[in-house]
Amino acid sequence: MLKLYNTLSKKFEEIPKKDHINLYTCGPTVYNYAHIGNLRSYVMADLLYRTLKLDGYNPKWVMNITDIDDKTIKGAIAKHGSRATVENLREYTKFYFDEFLKDLGKVNVLKDEVEFIRVTDVMPQIQEFIMALMAKGYAYKAEDGSTYFSIDKYQKDFGDYGELVGHKFLEGKKIGARVAVDEYEKDNLSDFALWKAWDELSDAQIFWDHPVLGKGRPGWHIECSVINRVAFKGEPTDIHTGGVDLVFPHHTNEIAQSQALLGKGNFVRHWFHSEHLLVDGKKMSKSAGNFYTLQDLQQKNPYAGNVLRYSFLQAKYRAQQNFTDESLIASQRAIAGVYGVLQSGADRAKSNMEAAHVGLDDDLNVPGALAKGSAEFIYQSLLGVGVLPPRRSGDEVQELSGEVKDLAVARLQARRQKDFQKSDELRKQIEDQGYEVMDTPEGQKVKKRLQI
């Protein structure tokens, strides 16, 4: 039986077994490439998903894709100009959504088993949800044309606003002001926008129309309340995951909206939050400018995704982790070490799947599992780290760029996994790009073909 820390109850709780488990992960805002801090939170969700699967919980995994918010609108306008439309927005965000999927693949997240839902695909359901909140008195349209959630009304009826942060969250705070932007700080306890009125200057031609709500677009929080409901067909969500920065305001407001409509206790049973990846003691973030993307790391190491995944698993999900170049190098070496153990066959005797399970069932205690189980079992199937032989000097792909580089990296991976059919297909694709591929004793070499 899996035991996990629940942010809501602040206790370790057993996850009860039933027919299936509804697992929801707050997905990325697709206005740019994900940074590796973002990827850590998805690797932790994936570790949870894999553990649920192995434990026989039959998880159904859903993730939203935030393709409409202040940042995606800004990006779409920068690309398509002041006449940008919803179609332009969708085209702009589709690019980063696809890049995100590639990144998930590279850090070995089981992305093909996730149902991704773009927010712009559920617009009628979002409008319906807001209308239902309005009918119950929890939403009101203000003079600025936007529709807001009334924290005051919620608090009168439920008395638990902010419980996810802590019972004393509301102490000393004044409720009343309003906030329309998507991101805000804890001190500004304000009614938040469910539907933001259209403003031609900042939104160009990006809006959806509704007879009561008017021209506008959804606020950030409402999408997750709606997508949970749509994807799980009205069933409660068993486990909801995200990074700790989402506890407030995002998840706090998801709870308020959903409980206002469905009643207390009918939304999410268990909240799972993973801690941040830090650089020099500070949270890695786009706004602080202290971030790396997976592409940055792949410049140095074509297997960076796999190595990064291994390094993420060295710290527990509820612990902060500092990112350094050295940690990546150490992880690369450790993987090569495991490869050596597997090659020698020495590991088989101490193979112990049951014991590894017990480690993970204890709030995803990876070090505990590593100490107990067989390398083969843990790395390949459970932790999802590909065990690769040490790198060879000829495997460099630095000089290559774009699609050819991706293909060369994929072919290296295919060969390491002994998938020679795939490796041959990839060779053909590389050759079609005007390059030649040689497998030498030093490794794979890819060179531009001479034009005669």
The answer to whether the beta carbons of residues 65 and 24 sit under 8 Å apart is no
According to the binding rule CB under 6 A, does residue 38 interact with ligand AMP?
yes
Instruction: Round to whole Å and give the CA distance between 190 and 176.
Output: 6
Q: How far is CA 271 from CA 25, 128, 162, in A?
A: 10, 26, 14
Question: Which of 162-170, 277-285, 405-413, 421-429 is the region at the interface with ligand AMP (rule: CB under 6 A)?
Answer: 277-285
**Cβ–Cβ under 8 Å, residues 35 and 284:** yes
How far apart CA 328 and CA 277 sit, in angstroms, is: 13
Stretch that binds Zn ion, among 20-28, 142-150, 166-174, 414-422 (CB under 5 A): 20-28
Residues 269, 271: Cα–Cα separation, whole Å: 7
Task: State the nearest-atom distance from the C-beta of 10 to ligand AMP, in Å.
Answer: 19
Cα 136 to Cα 30, 139, 182, 280, 338, distances in angstroms? 33, 8, 24, 48, 58
322 forms beta bridges with 278
Question: Based on CB atoms, which residue is closest to ligand AMP, 99 or 157?
Answer: 99
Can you tell me the distance from the alpha carbon of 22 to that of 57, in angstroms, rounded to the nearest whole number? 10
**Minimum distance from CB of 417 to ligand AMP (Å)?**
28
Q: Check binding of 242 to ligand AMP (CB under 6 A).
A: yes
Among 246, 247, 378, 408, binds ligand AMP (CB under 6 A): 246
How many residues interact with Zn ion (rule CB under 5 A)?
2
Tell which positions 78-137 bind ligand AMP, by CB under 6 A: none
Q: Report which of 11, 4, 100 is spatially closest to residue 44, judged by C-alpha positions.
A: 4
Q: Is 285 in the site for ligand AMP (CB under 6 A)?
A: yes
Out of 30, 164, 197, 224, the only residue in the binding site for Zn ion (CB under 5 A) is: 224
**Contact present, 379 and 366 (Cβ < 8 Å):** no
Q: Which DSSP symbol is given to 406? A: H
Interface with ligand AMP: number of residues (CB under 6 A): 16
Task: In angstroms, give the least distance from the CB of 253 to ligand AMP.
Answer: 14
Q: Of 155 and 285, which CB lies nearer to ligand AMP in the complex structure?
A: 285
Q: Does 26 bind ligand AMP (CB under 6 A)?
A: yes
- Residues forming the site for ligand AMP (CB under 6 A): 26, 28-29, 37-38, 40-41, 242-243, 245-246, 276-277, 283-285
